[in-house]
Structure 1
Amino acid sequence: MSDQITDMDVFFNPKSIAIIGASDTFKFGYNMTKYLLSSNFKTYPVNINKDFIFGHKVFKNINDIPDDIELVIIIVRNEFVLQTVKDSVKKGVKGIIIETAGFAETGIKELVKIQEEIEKIAKNSNVRIIGPNCVGITNFNNKFTTAETDFTQSIDGGTISVIAQSGVLGNIFIEWSASQKIGFSKTITLGNKVDVDEIDILEYLEKDANTNVITVYLEGVKRGPKLVEILRKLTKPVLILKNGRSEIGSKAVLSHTGSIAGNDKIYDTIFKQYSGIYRVNNFYEMFNIAQVFATQPLPKGKNIAIITSSGSLGIIACDEIERLGLNLAVLNELTIQKMKSVSPNWTSLKNPVDLGPSLFTTFSHSLKAILNDECVDALLYIFAVPQMPIKAFSLPITPQLREMRNLSTKLNKPIITCVFGSRWIVEYFLKHSDKYKIPIMTQISHAIKAFKFMHDFAVSNKI
C-alpha cells in the first residue's frame, strides 16, 4: 500500500505540471489553465498553435520543455490524445490526467480502440493515468486543481474527500459544497478509468492525514474482488452512492462512462457486509451525513433527544428514530424539572421537547439540561420559526449555535440542526454554521440516518 501512496501522490502534490492543449480562448480548461499559470505551482503550457498564453511561453511539444515534468493534464481533442500520451511517457512523467471525453463511453469502435491503446500504455509503463472523460483532482489542502475550481475566491477546506466517476459533478460538488458550508479535503473524478480507479484512491485516502470521511459516487467497478479487499481494510467511515439500480439506470451508466453497473443486489450485500461502509440514496443525504461525521463526536449510545418548535416535526423525527432502530431518549425527571422551572406551563417537556413560541427564551436552559442528562446520547434540534418575527424583533439565532457548539464539545455529544422555513432562514443558519461546526440540514430523515450511521460506526469500532 505504501507504493500505492507514492504512485497516487503525484496527482495531489505535483512538483511540476504540463497542460497539453492549454489555451487562453474561453473553452473547456480555460479557468484551470489561467489559475495554474498564475499559481505557485510550476506549470508549463503546451499548444502547437500558440506562442504565449497569459504571458507565459508556450511549448509546441512536452518534450520541448527543458525541465522534468511530473504530471500532465491533457485537454486536446480526442483524436490527438493517444499520441499525446505517448509523448508524455517518452518525457518520463509520473502521472497523466486525461480530461478529454469521447472514447469508450461513445460506443464507437474506433474510439473504444483508442481507449484500449491508452490502457495498454498504462499497464506497460510506470505512468499512472486518470481518465479519460473526467476533470481530475482538486486538493483543498494545497489548492492544487485540474478542475474549474476558482481558488481566487474564498473556498474553505475540510476533512471530507469525494471520489466520483462523473467529471462535471466534480465541479458542481465544489461549488455546491461551498454554498452549504461543507468542507472538502480532496475531490477526485475518475471518468472511464483506464488505469487509476476508486480502489487506488480509497487506498490513498485511507492513509491521508487530511481525510477523515470518504464519500464515493460509483457507477461500476472493474476490480470487484479488489474492492471487497479494500473495503474490509478501511478504518474511516465511507458513504457510497451507487447508481444504476434499475435496468434503465444501468444502460445510462454504460453510455456515460462506459462502465458496467453490475447486479445491484450484489453491491448492496457487499456494502452491508463491512463495518464503516454505508450506502446512501442521493447526494444531499451523502454530504449531509458526511458533514456530521466530519464535525461531530460519535455518540456513546443510541438515545436521541429532540428540541423542537413544532410538535408535528418532532413526531416525524420520532417515527424515523424508531424506523432506524434508535431510541427516543427517556429524560430524567430531574431534567424535566429543570426545564419546567423556566418554561410556560403549556410547553411539552417530555421528549420530544416542544418549546413552541417560548423557544427563544427557554432554549438555553433546556439545551443545557437535556445535554447534561446521562440518558441522552445525541440531540436533534428542529428549528421551525417564520422569518417575520426573527427580523422584526431581532431574535437571536447565533447564540444558539454557539451554545450548542460549546456544550457538544464539553459533553462530547453530537448535535444536528434541522431548519424549516424560508430560504432566508436556511441561509442565515448556513452563514454561521461553519464558524460553530453545527451541521445544518433541511431533511429530518438525513439527520436521523446520520445518528444511526455514527452509532453503528462507534459500535463496530468499539469507540
Structure 2
Amino acid sequence: MTVLEKFKPIFYPKSVMVVGASKDPNKMGYYCVKSLKDAKFKGKIYPINPHAQKILGFKVYPSIKDLPENVDLAVIVIPAKAVPSTLEECAQKQVKGAVIISGGFKEIGREEGLKLQEETVNIANKYGIKIIGPNTFGVVNLHANLNASFTPIFSKLKKGNVALISQSGGMCHIISYHGMEEGIGFSKIVGVGNRCNVEFADLIEYFGEDPETKVIAMYIEGVDDARRMVETAKKVVRKKPIVAYKVGREGSGKAVYSHTGSLAGKHEIYKAAFKQAGIIMVDSCIELLDTVKALALQEPPNNGRFAVVSKEAGPAITMIDVCTDGGLTLAKFTDETNEKLKKLLPPFTIRTNPVDVAFASLNIEAYKEAVRLVLADENVDTLLFFCLYHPGIKLPVEDFAKAKNKFKKCMVSCVVAPKNMWIQVKRKMEQMGIPVFPSPERAAKTLVNLTFYGKIRKMVS
C-alpha cells in the first residue's frame, strides 16, 4: 500500500462520523458538525449523540453501532477516558482514520494520561487506524471540501498548494488566519497534536507524494524521533521545499511538554540538522508565510546573484544589507547592460546595481525597460523590486511578468501604499507569479530563503 493510499481515509473519506456531536453552540461537538457542513463536504455525515434527533439538519444516531453502514473517518470529541472503547466500536464499522480532538492524554504529564494514550495507540495499531491527535484541532483538505476540525472558518480558506503541519492548534490558526489575509492557498492543514501513530515524518512523506501540494510548511515544538523526520525530509526536499518554524528553546521545554507531550530538544542541534537536510528554517510565523507564499508562486533561483531596482535609495540599501547578510551577492552587470542603462536613465541617478529609477518611474516605457534589462542580464539570478505609491505611477505589471518569465528569473517585490491603495496592483502581481511584501526587510529575507532552497535543489539534483 502506498503512502497516499494509507492516508486516504484521513484526507479523502467518503463518510465521516462525529462522536460527541452536539446541538449546543457552547460545545466543540457542535462546531465539528458545523465545520463539515460549512465546507460542503460531499460525503455522508453521521453525528453521534444519544440525546438528540437532529443537529444542523443532519439525522443523529444514538451510537456507533446504530450507523447504517461502515464509515471511513471518525472525528472524536468526547472525554478522554471514553476514547479507547470508542475506537473499539469504530473498528467494528471499519473506520481507518480518526481525528481525536479530545485532550487529557500524554500532554497532561500524569500516569493516567500516559496510559490512556498508550492504550489508544495499541487499539489503533491493532485495527490499522491512522490517528491525528489526540489533543488536536483537526484536519482540513481544501481539495476535498473536508473540514474535520472545530473551526468552521477554515472552510473559507483559499484552495492552493501549500500544506501546513502544526503541533499547535493556536499557532496553526494564527498562520491560517494570516494566510487568509495574504491570499495564500492551502492544500491541506493538519494539527498533529500528541502524535499517537502519525508523526511529522509520516506527513512529510505523504505530502512529498501528494500531487496537490507544492510546498510543505511546519510549526514544530518537539519531536520524539527527530532523526527519522530529518532523514525523510532529506528525500522530500529533492522535489518539494520544506519550511519549518521550530520553537521550544532553552527555558521553554517544560511548557512544550505540557502542551503536546514532546521533548523540545536543543535548538541549535535542530537548527544544524534542519539546515543539513535542506529544510528552510524561519524565525516567525510571518516569515514562514512569506517564504511559502513566494515558493508557491515561482521557482527559486539556482544562485545568489541579485539585483535591485528601486525608485528610493533607502529601501534599496536595506534590502542589500539583508541579502548580503544572508549570504547573497550583489550582481555585477555586464558591460552591455551598463551601457544600455546609461542611455536609458538620467546621468544624475545610480545606473549600476542598485538601479535608481526615481526619475524614470513616471515614464512607463523607461520603467519597464529598466526592469527588462536587469532581468535579461546573464549575471543576475534574481531581482528585488521596490516601489512606493505615487498617483502618477502606473506599474506595468504584465511587462514585468513577461520579462521575468522570458528570462526565467526569480522576482520578489516590495510595494508599499497607503491602506486601500494599489490593492488591485498587488493582487495582479501575485496572480502573475510575483510575490509582494509590505516591507523591504521581509522581501529581502524571503529572497534569502528562496535562494537557500534553490541552491539545495541544485546540489541534490
TM-score (normalizing by structure 2): 0.91
Contact preservation (8 Å) 1:131, 1:191:
yes
Looking at structure 1, the residues matched to 169 and 222 of structure 2 have their Cα atoms a distance apart, in angstroms, of 15
Query: Which whole-Å deviations, capped at 9, do the CAs of 1:62-113 have from their partners, x for residues lacking one?
Result: 1110111010001223343333222212322101110122332223443333
Amino acid of the structure 1 residue aligned with 2:82: F
Confirm or deny: 8 A CA contact 1:404 1:415 kept in the other structure.
no
- Looking at structure 2, the residues matched to 92 and 358 of structure 1 have their Cα atoms a distance apart, in angstroms, of 68
Deviation at 1:149, TM superposition (A): 4.3
Among 157, 176, 179, the alignment partner of 2:178 is 176
Q: CA deviation at 1:430?
A: 4.4
Equivalent position SS for 1:341: helix
Structure 2 CA distance for partners of 1:300 and 1:268, relative to 1, 3 Å? closer
Which of 376, 394, 397 does residue 396 from structure 1 map onto? 394
The amino acid across from 1:25 in the alignment is D
Distance 1:325 1:39, change over 3 A: closer
The aligned counterpart of 1:383 is 387
Query: Tell me, what secondary structure is at the counterpart of 1:124?
Result: helix
1:270 alignment partner in structure 2: 273
Assess if the C-alpha contact under 8 Å between 1:215 and 1:286 holds in 2.
Answer: yes
Partner-residue secondary structure (3-state), 2:143 = coil
Displacement after TM superposition at 1:189 (Å): 0.9
Task: Specify which of 416, 428, 444 is matched with residue 412 of structure 2.
Answer: 416
Q: What is the CA–CA distance in structure 1 between the aligned matches of 2:386 and 2:155, rounded to whole Å?
A: 36
Q: Which amino acid aligns with 2:434?
A: I
The aligned residue for residue 34 of structure 1 is: 34
Residue number in structure 2 paired with 1:19: 18
User: How far apart are residue 330 of structure 1 and its match?
Assistant: 1.0
Q: SS state of the match for residue 319, structure 1? A: helix
Q: 1:414 to 1:268 in 2, by over 3 A?
A: same
Q: Name the structure 2 match of 1:240.
A: 244
Distance in 2 (CA, whole Å) between partners of 1:129 and 1:190 is 9
Match of 1:315, SS? helix
Q: Distance in 1 between matches of 2:182 and 2:79?
A: 35
Whether the 8 Å contact between 1:317 and 1:448 is mirrored in structure 2 is: no
Q: Which residue of 2 aligns with 1:133?
A: 135
Q: How many aligned residue pairs are there?
A: 450
Report the identity percentage: 30
> Contact 2:243/2:281 (CA < 8 Å) preserved in 1?
yes
Q: How many angstroms does 1:429 deviate by?
A: 5.0
Structure-1 residue corresponding to 2:436: 440
SS of aligned partner of 1:48: coil
Measured on the aligned residues, the alpha-carbon RMSD in Å equals 2.2
* TM superposition outliers: structure 1 runs of 4+ over 6 Å: none
Structure 2: how far apart are the matches of 1:374 and 1:228? 36
1:148-202: per-residue Cα shift (whole Å, max 9, x none)?
244764x432221111111233333333212102121111110011111111111
Deviations 1:231-273 (A, max 9, x none): 23222211111111222x2222112111111122322232122
Gaps of at least 5 residues in structure 1 are: none
Number of the residue aligned with 2:327: 325
Structure 2's unaligned 5+ residue stretches are none
Distance in 2, Cα, partners of 1:410 & 1:32 = 48
Residue from 162, 165, 168 that aligns with 2:167: 165
Is it true that 1:50 corresponds to 2:52 in the alignment?
yes
Q: CA deviation at 1:425?
A: 4.6
- In the alignment, what sits opposite 2:118? 116
Residue of structure 2 in register with 1:350 after alignment? 352
